[in-house]
Structure 1
Amino acid sequence: MRILVVEDDHILREATVSILAGEDYLVDQASTGEEGLYLAKQGIHDLIVLDIMLPGINGLEIVKILRNNGCAVSILLLTAKDSVDDRVIGLESGADDYLVKPFAMRELLARIKALFRRKGNLIIEDQINCGNLTLDSKVKDAFVNEEPLGLTNKEYEILEFLALNKEQILTRDQIFDRVWGLESDISSSIVDIYIHHLRKKLIAYGLDIFIQTVRGVGFMLKVS
């Protein structure tokens, strides 16, 4: 799973990124509202940890822009303000949860896991259930009837991204940015190679048709 942390306090941002990376999350970070909004618009994150008071565009404006553009990513707001009105404003803007500074990192992790559990019961105790497939984020592999597929890390990350967005088309660039990062200089055509490898591992179980190519656009995991 990939998380975006948008926080202008350098010490808090680095501490948060370190803790999340230690929990095996993929993490991107930004220190300004403009940079955070740009990264959020790429559509490659499962959750955004977003400070309200940011240089440039503030967190509430970012939430409104994302929601108005149809972005449904889970958003956890961070703020130093603790009044009921401030919390209500944050949630009414479209955020999913609200955490007041200073906070314990244990609480942040608990809030993040709770938000993931809300995703239509798709994610349960570090597992993603998708049709006959079960993805386990702890071992970075997928299973069919408890038999492991033997995925590489990149194969797992691609399949996880598709599973978290099942029935939705993901562009080749979205998959590439999610798995290889926004600053990678590798050609995005590598996505097609890994999709081919995934299908070869799924074909033994008759599940290769799960990953469908949407010509000229990208790929989709279709389980119905």
Structure 2
Amino acid sequence: MTGGHRRILVVEDDPETAGQLVDSFTTNGYQVDLATNGKEALNRGTTGDYAIITIDRMLPDIDGIAVMRQLRDDGIAAPVLIISALGEVDDRVRGLRAGGDDYLVKPFSFVELLARVEALGRRSDTFARETILRVGDLAIDLVSRTVSRRGKEIALLHREFQLLEYLVRNEGRAVSRAMLLQHVWDLHFDPSTNIIDVYVGRVRRKVDGQQAYPLIHTVRGIGYCLRAPG
């Protein structure tokens, strides 16, 4: 995915939630702009080429629904995901009828958030989808959900595929166990198990076993890093 075609506008006034949203989208390959109030959202939304916009209902100056209606009136057609603590049926219906494409109630799972954004992205005219990720001789096909090295397919279980995809998207970066727990398992606490090391060990054996060089490396005291030599 390239350039502005991976841009998301996050409209959220709560600093903690905003930081989590920006971090989650960024680590999954998106370019993210943040607006913390309605006025800033309207300014950014009408001037930027966004593939997707997420909007909080309860903003400090202009209600999120009013922001969305104004963007629609201004001809902005980017899919909008409304994120709100208001979860009653009437709240959701009002948001969708006002021009929202989807509605996610707080608190939410970041795994579900990303899945909904990807689904909305498939509707967006400006959303360019990459279908294959490559690092060295490793290829991950995101459509067929297959993995191969030097053209030879590697069979991975669902969670193993998710783990490898996250490492590949963070190529060259040290990824902590906490990051893997949050973004692959959607856990925000340490379950006091060695689940990460067990799964990384499985993926490493399948991906690096019998290969000319390893891709998955242990970063002592931190976690893991996926990188090709050179």
TM over 0.5: yes
- TM-score range (shorter-chain normalised) is 0.5 to 0.7
In the TM superposition, residue 53 of structure 1 has moved relative to its aligned partner by 6.6
Q: Alignment length, in residue pairs?
A: 165
Q: Structure 1 length as normaliser, TM-score?
A: 0.55
**Is 1:40 aligned to residue 36 of structure 2?**
no
Q: Which amino acid aligns with 2:177?
A: R
> What are the equivalent positions in structure 2 for 1:172-187 lying under 5 Å apart?
172-183=177-188, 186-187=191-192
**Is 1:136 aligned to residue 125 of structure 2?**
no
**Is 1:210 aligned to residue 225 of structure 2?**
no
> What are the equivalent positions in structure 2 for 1:34-183 lying under 5 Å apart?
34=15, 35-41=17-23, 44-47=27-30, 52=35, 54=37, 77=53, 80-81=70-71, 99=78, 109-112=124-127, 114=128, 123=130, 126-183=131-188
CA distance in 1, matches of 2:167, 2:147: 13
Q: Which consecutive unaligned segments of at least 5 residues does structure 2 have? A: 1-6, 43-49, 55-67, 81-98, 102-119
Q: Which amino acid aligns with 1:202?
A: V
Q: Which consecutive unaligned segments of at least 5 residues does structure 1 have? A: 8-30, 61-73, 88-97, 117-122
- Provide the identity percentage: 20
Conserved in 2, the CA contact under 8 Å of 1:44 and 1:177? no
Change (3 A) 1:186 1:6: farther
> What are the equivalent positions in structure 2 for 1:10-25 lying under 5 Å apart?
none
CA-atom RMSD in angstroms:
4.3
Which structure is higher in RCO with an 8 Å CA cutoff and minimum separation 6? 2
Conserved in 1, the CA contact under 8 Å of 2:172 and 2:225? yes
Conserved in 1, the CA contact under 8 Å of 2:51 and 2:126? no
Change (3 A) 1:109 1:83: closer
CA distance in 1, matches of 2:121, 2:52: 15
Q: Which structure has the greater CA radius of gyration?
A: 2
In the TM superposition, residue 140 of structure 1 has moved relative to its aligned partner by 2.1
